[in-house]
Chain A
C-alpha cells in the first residue's frame, strides 16, 4: 500500500528518497517473513532505471543524480533479490572509491558533502561487492578515529558532536574493517545505555526526545559492542509496539504520530534484535537479513537477544 500512491503530492515530494524507501520496505518485509509481497522483477527494473550512466552510480529516482546513499540502497536491494549480475561492479566500485577525500572521509557525490555516514556506506557497499581489498583501510580508519569524542561517541565529521546515528555508522564501518579496537567500549556502551528514557524509548543524544529509529541505531551499536543487556529490552519492545498505528498499520517515530516506511523498517529491525517472536534474524552491521550476510561470508561477531517463541 506504500508503493502505489502516484497521485499523492507527498509521494512526489519524496522522490529523492525513493531508492532508500524501497530498500527499507523490502528489508522490513524480509524480517517479517513476507518478502514476496513486493514484485521482484518490477523492483529490479526500477533499480536499474536509476542507473546514472555518466557517473557509474545510482540516483534515488530516474533522472536524479547519482549519490552514494542511493547507490548503497540499490546494491542492497540487488543483493537481497539475488540479482547482482545486473550490476557493472567495476564501474560502481570506481564511482565509490572516487568519493574518498584526501582526509580519508567519503563524500556523498561530486559536490563534496562529507559525513562519516558516507564512509560506512562505502565500506558496506565495497564489502557486499567483495571489493574491500581496493580500499585504503588505514586512511579510512584514521579519519573515523579523529571523529571520536570525549564521551566515547562519534560525530558526522571531525569536531562534531556525538549522535547515535553517527555512532552506528562508525561502529559498523569499524566492525566490517575489524578495527573495533579503536573504540572505548566501556565509555561508549555507557553513553549508549543512557539513551534509554523512562518511557522505554531511546533518544539519539542527551536531553532529546525518544524516537523509534534509535531502536536500531543505538541497539545495533550495543549489539556490535556485545552490550545489548545494558538496556531494558522489555520496556523498549513495549515502546516500539506502542508506536504502531492500530488502524492503518506501520510504525511511527513515537506513539500517536503518523507511521512511515522508514520508522517501520527500523522498528521491526529493533524488535528482531530484541528477540521478538516470529521475526527473522537481522544483521545489525549491514541492516540486512542475517542468513544472507552469513551465506556471503560477511558475518561479524555481534550479539542479539535470543528469539522468543510464541
Chain B
C-alpha cells in the first residue's frame, strides 16, 4: 500500500472498526462467492454481468472478475444484442472503467490493448477526450500516457504531429516538472528538433533546479556530433552558472558536454583546458552534491588517466 499514514488506535476503537467491517465483509464474501460460483458453471447471463459490475465497483483490482466479465460479454451478451445495444454496453463499460481508473489510477489490465471486444471507431475521439481529462487531474499517470499513445495510434485518421506537440506543450507550461510530457516529446520531435532549443532554454533559466529539463537537454545534444551546437549550449549553460553559482545541474551538464567535445572534436579544441575545466567542475560537484561524490570521483579519475 502506498501513502497510508500510520495511526495508533486504541483496542476499543479497533474493535468498533472491526465490528463495523464485519457486515461489509459478510456482503463482500457473499458477492464474491456468488460471482465465482456463476463463473465455475460458465454462466453468461445478464444477472452474472450485473453481479460482476457490483463486485468490481467495490474491488476493481480483482483481475479474475474482469476476465469473467469479458467472457460474459463475448459469449453471452453480444451474440444476443443489436449493434446499437452493443454500443450502449461498451459505453457503459467505458464508464465503469473510467470510474475504476479515477479511484484506482494505477490498476493496469483495466485499459490494456489485448481487448478482444474491439472498440468501435466512433469511440476513439471520446477515448482521447476522457484520457486527457484524466491527465489534467493526474499529469504523471504513465498508464494514462500509455493509453493515450495507444488511442492516437488507433485513430482511423491520424492526428498531426504538431497537434500532439501542442498538447504536450500545454502540459509542460502548466508544470515544468512533468517528466512524462517531456518523454512523449522525444518520440514526436525527431523531425522538428531544431525549434526545441528555444523552449528548453526558457525552462532552464526559469527553474534551474528541475532535473527533467536537464535530462531532456542532454538528449537534444545527443552524441555531440555538432561542435557548433555543443559550444553554443556550453556557453549558454556557463552564463546560467554565473547567475546560479551552486547549480549542480549546470556543473554536471557542463562536464558532460565538455567531455563530448573532448571525445568527438579533440583535433579542433584545446584539450588540456577542457580537461582542467572538467576536473575543476567535478571538484565543485563533490561539494555541492556530496551524496553522489563517488561518481564524480570516478569520472575525474578517468579524465586524469586519459
Contact = CB atoms under 8 A, between A and B. Distances in A.
A111 B112 contact: yes
A278 interface: no
B215 A253 contact: no
Given A111-B114, A230-B295, A161 B40 contact: no
Interface string B172-202: 0000011110011011000000000000000
Contacts of A33: none
Contacts of B210: 207
Interface stretch (A58-66, A76-84, A132-140, A174-182): A58-66
Given A150-B219, A258-B5, A9 B179 contact: no
Contact of B25 (A7, A109, A206, A207): A7
B32 A12 contact: yes
A307 interface: no
B120 interface: no
Interface string B211-233: 11001101100000000000000
A40 interface: no
Interface stretch (A90-98, A112-120, A265-273): A112-120
Interface stretch (B58-66, B81-89, B92-100, B276-284): B58-66
A42 interface: no
Contacts of B124: none
Given A111-B70, A161-B145, A256-B5, A235 B215 contact: no
Residues of A in contact with B, size category: 35 or more
A193 B114 contact: no
Contacts of B187: 159
A9 B28 contact: yes
A9 B21 contact: yes
Contacts of A294: none
B204 to A, nearest CB: 15
Interface string A250-266: 00110011111010000
B149 A159 contact: yes
Interface string B70-81: 100000000000
B181 to A, nearest CB: 10
B2 A193 contact: no
B291 interface: yes
A63 B112 CA distance: 23
Contacts of A108: 109
A109 B67 contact: yes
Interface in B1-60: 1-8, 18, 21-22, 24-25, 28-29, 32, 36, 39-40, 58-59
A231 B179 contact: no
B30 to A, nearest CB: 11
Interface in A1-45: 7-9, 12-16
Contacts, number: 149
A16 B64 contact: yes
A146 B24 CA distance: 47
A157 B215 contact: no
Contact of B5 (A59, A205, A206, A257): A257
Interface string B257-299: 0000000000000000000000000000000001110110010
A231 B292 contact: yes
A197 to B, nearest CB: 9
Contacts of B149: 159-160
Contacts of B112: 111-114
B198 to A, nearest CB: 19
B28 A13 contact: yes
B215 to A, nearest CB: 5
A85 interface: no
Contact of B140 (A208, A232, A256, A262): A208
Residue among A9, A108, A191, A260 having the largest count of chain B Cβ atoms under 10 Å? A9
Nearest to B71: A111
A30 to B, nearest CB: 23
A252 B184 CA distance: 32
A156 B146 contact: yes
A190 interface: yes
Nearest to B7: A258
B114 A107 contact: yes
